[in-house]
Amino acid sequence: MSLNVDRASTAFTFKGGMLPMTVMELTSADPERIREQLAGKLSQSPAFFQHTPVVLSVEKLDEPHLALERICAVCRAHKLLPVAVRGGADPVKQSAWALGLGWFPPQEIKPRNLESVAAPAPETPAESVQPAGGGRIHRGTVRSGQQLTAPDGDLVVIGAVNAGAEVLAAGNVHVYGALRGRALAGIHGDAQAGIFCRELHAELLSVAGNYKRLEDIDPRLLGSAVQVRLSDDQLAIAGLT
């Protein structure tokens, strides 16, 4: 998507990108109430609050004037980094710009529930590394209740994914072991993504939003090494030989 110019002579190129972003949907404009709730959340999942960029959505608020500066200060004090505001009337837009924040128009369609991606995730196992290229490699078992996400690339698990665990990737999901939990590939809509595993017992398989539950999977495939791809908007599961 870069402009067709001589790279050596340019200082930068513009690129389009779809970055995962947490939206903070405000249902109260009272900075004090926001502070209280944030303090509670911070103690529950400190790992989430590491200068995480957030978009403040004020679509659900009916107030033309907001104490935007104070709300931003509260967020920053809890290690959330407001980068933009979505929705609100003109005064909100003006004060967002004045604070150096971007402004997005209100969303027309109802946002899909992306909680599994954006929510302060449950425990992420410690033994994973993020190599260059945005992918992620995890060594060891992914256990029940754990969630492992590769938001920008492929996820490789060298070990098993147990029942009750969830692995997600923007690209492919590779499991070099038994897949007993949930596996979601192409979470940002990449229909070319796939899921590969050594032993299929998955609770749920999903590629770009198309999913199959364990019940829908041909029992003859269970226990074998498979690849899962999207073909004509249907998940196709085939043996890996």
Partner 1 sequence: MAKIIVVTSGKGGVGKTTSAAAIATGLALRGNKTVVIDFDVGLRNLDLIMGCERRVVYDLVNVIQGEAGLNQALIRDKRVDNLHILPASQTRDKDALTSEGVEKVLESLSEDFDYILCDSPAGIERGAQLAMYFADEAVVVTNPEVSSVRDSDRILGLLASKTRRAERNQDPIKEHLLITRYNPARVDHGDMLNLEDIREILAIDLIGLIPESEAVLRASNQGIPVTHDANSDAGQAYTDTVSRLLGEDVPLRFHEYQKKSLLSRVFGGGRR
Asked whether position 123 contacts partner 1 by CB under 8 A, the answer is yes
Q: What end-to-end distance do the CA atoms of the chain give, in Å? A: 37
Q: Which is nearer to partner 1, 91 or 122 (CB)?
A: 122
Q: Interacting stretch for partner 1, rule CB under 8 A, among 17-25, 92-100, 138-146, 231-239?
A: 138-146
Residues 32-91 that bind partner 1 (CB under 8 A): none
Residues 175-204 that bind partner 1 (CB under 8 A): 178, 180
Residues near 24 by beta carbon (within 8 Å), at least 6 away in sequence: 54, 55, 56, 57, 75, 80, 82
Torsion angle, alpha carbons of 214, 217, 220, 225, to 10: -80
* Smallest distance, partner 1 to C-beta of residue 164, A: 6
Asked whether position 223 contacts partner 1 by CB under 8 A, the answer is no
Q: Which is nearer to partner 1, 52 or 124 (CB)?
A: 124
Q: What one-character-per-residue DSSP string does 160-227 give?
A: -B-TT-EEEESS-EEEEEEE-SEEEE-TTS-TT--EEEEEE--SEEEETTEEEEGGGS-GGGTTS-EE
Q: Which is nearer to partner 1, 67 or 124 (CB)?
A: 124
Q: Which is nearer to partner 1, 33 or 213 (CB)?
A: 213
Q: For tokens 């513009």, what's the residue?
A: 14
Residues 150-169 that bind partner 1 (CB under 8 A): 159-160, 162-165
Can you name the residues that pair with 55 across neighbouring β-strands? 23, 84
Asked whether position 224 contacts partner 1 by CB under 8 A, the answer is no
Contact predicate 204/211, CB 8 Å: yes
Asked whether position 109 contacts partner 1 by CB under 8 A, the answer is no
Q: Which residues bind partner 1 (CB under 8 A)?
A: 123-127, 140-141, 143-146, 159-160, 162-165, 178, 180
